[in-house]
Structure 1
Amino acid sequence: MNDKPVPARPTVDLRSFTPARVALGRSGASLPTKPLLDFTLAHARARDAVHAVFDGPRLMTEVRALGLAATEVTSRAADRGDYLRRPDLGRQLDPPSAAALAEVAIAPCQLAIVIGDGLSAAAVHAHSVALLQSLLPRLGEGEAVATGRVVVASGARVALADEIGAILGARMVLMLIGERPGLSAPDSLGAYLTFAPRPGLTDADRNCVSNIHKAGLSYDEAALKIAWLVREGLARQVTGVALKDESADRAPRRIGATEPD
C-alpha cells in the first residue's frame, strides 16, 4: 500500500486552462480590486455588444467582394428595444423584405446563407466574412455544394433563417449570427444549420457550431465542421437531433447517397 501523500495542486493552475473567472482571490469578504474592475469592464463590453449598431451596408459590400450575390432584409423588430423585448418579432421578416426576397428567388439552391446581427453585431462584423472565406473553398471541394444568395438580416433571431430559406427555396440554410455575449467573449459567432427550412421549426431541427472567435473555435476548425454538417445533412436530408457531428471521425457521404436500411 502506497501511503505517499498526493501533492496538492494549487487552484490557481485552473486559470491557465480557462478564461472563466476562477481563483480570483479575496480581500476580506470581497473580491480584490483588480478582479472586480476586470469584471466590471467585461460586463460593460458585453452590454456594448448587445447594443452595438449593425452596419448592414458594409457587410453587403464585403460579401459581394467574395463574388456572392447578396440581399439586405430586416425583421419585424422596429428597433433594438423591440428586438430585445419581443424575440418573436426577430423571427419574422417585415413584409417589404419578404416581398423583395421573393423577387430575387429565381431558382432553388442547395444552400442559402444568412448573416444576422443577433445579440452581438460586433461578432458578426469581426468574424462572419473571415469565416466565409474559409468555408466557401471547402464547400467547393469534390462534389460542390451549390451556394445561393447571401442574405444580410438586421434585427435577426436564429429562426428568421427558416422563413428566408423557405422563400429562397433552399434545401438547407446556414445562419451566421452573433451569440449572446458572455463575460469572457462579447464577440462570439454562432453557425446554425437547418435542412428544409420553413417557419415553425424549433432548435431541435438545427445543428449549431458555436463559440467562433479568436480565443475560441478558429475559422478553419469551424469551417471544417460546418462543411461536414452541410454535406452530411444534405445526404441524409436531416439536421438537428437526427444528425450528430462526426466530422473528426469520418468524411461525409455523397450528397446523392441515401441512408442505408
Structure 2
Amino acid sequence: MPTQSIPFEGANLYVEMDGNADQSPLLLWPPGQSTLRVWDHLIPTLEKQFFVIRIDVRGYGQSSVSDLNENQFTFEQYARDAKYVLDLLGVRNTHVWSQSWGTRAAIWFCAKFPGFVNSAALYAANLDLPDVNQQREGTRAAAEERRVAGIDTGLDRVGFNEHMNPEAAQLTASALRKVLLSDVIDRLSMPVLIGTGSHDPNLRSSTEIANRLRNATLRKFEMVGHNAILEHPELALEAFLEFHQALTHSD
C-alpha cells in the first residue's frame, strides 16, 4: 500500500493508494471526524476493481496544517486539495464514494469538477444542516434491529478518530456550516447513487436530491442509521458494486 505526504497550500496531505494504477480510479471521502482508516474493511474488495485513493482531509488523521486559520477549513479548499492530489497521481477522471459528512465534501467536489467525476455514490446525502440528535437516535434504533436480526459487523474501529491535531480536526468538520449545498447540487450531471439508512433523518433530503437530479438513483438501506459503511458494510458495499456493474452494462 503506497503512501504519500503531499504539501499543498499550507497543509501536508496524507494519502494512501490501493489497487492497480491501471484500474479505474476511486476517490473515497470519509464520515465526519473520521480518518481514512474507516474504509479499511472495504479495501480488500475495492482494490480488486479500482485504483483506490484515500486522503485524510486537511486537519484530519495524519494530514497536518501549518496554522489554524479558519479560512482554509472549507469544502472549496478540500476540493482543491483532492484535485491537486489526483492531478499529481496522474488521474484524469475518477469515481467517487462518500459517507455522511464526507458526502457534503464530495458534493462540492463533484459540483466543482463535474467533467472530472465519472460517477458518485453519495451515502447519507443531505443538503440541510444535520440533526445530530435524530441521527444518534436513528443509529441506536437501527443497531437494535440488527441485533435482533443477528447482524453483527464486528468491525475493529482502531484509528477511525485518531487525529494528530484534535483542534484542527474540529475546525475541519466546521466546513459544513459555511456553504449552501442546495446552490450547487444541480451541477451534478454524472450518474449518482444515493444510499441512505431507513433510520437516518437524512433520508428525507436524500429522497429530494434523488428526485431533483436526472441521473440519480436512491437506495434505502434497511436496519441502517446514519453511517452505512460502518453499521452494515456488506449492504453498503453490495449497493456500491451493483451501481458500478449497472454503469458498466450501460456503456
TM bracket (short chain):
0.3 to 0.5
Indicate the structure with greater strand content: 2
- TM-score relative to the length of structure 2: 0.35
- TM-score relative to the length of structure 1: 0.34
Which has the higher Rg, Structure 1 or Structure 2?
1
**Greater RCO (CA < 8 Å, at least 6 residues apart):** 2
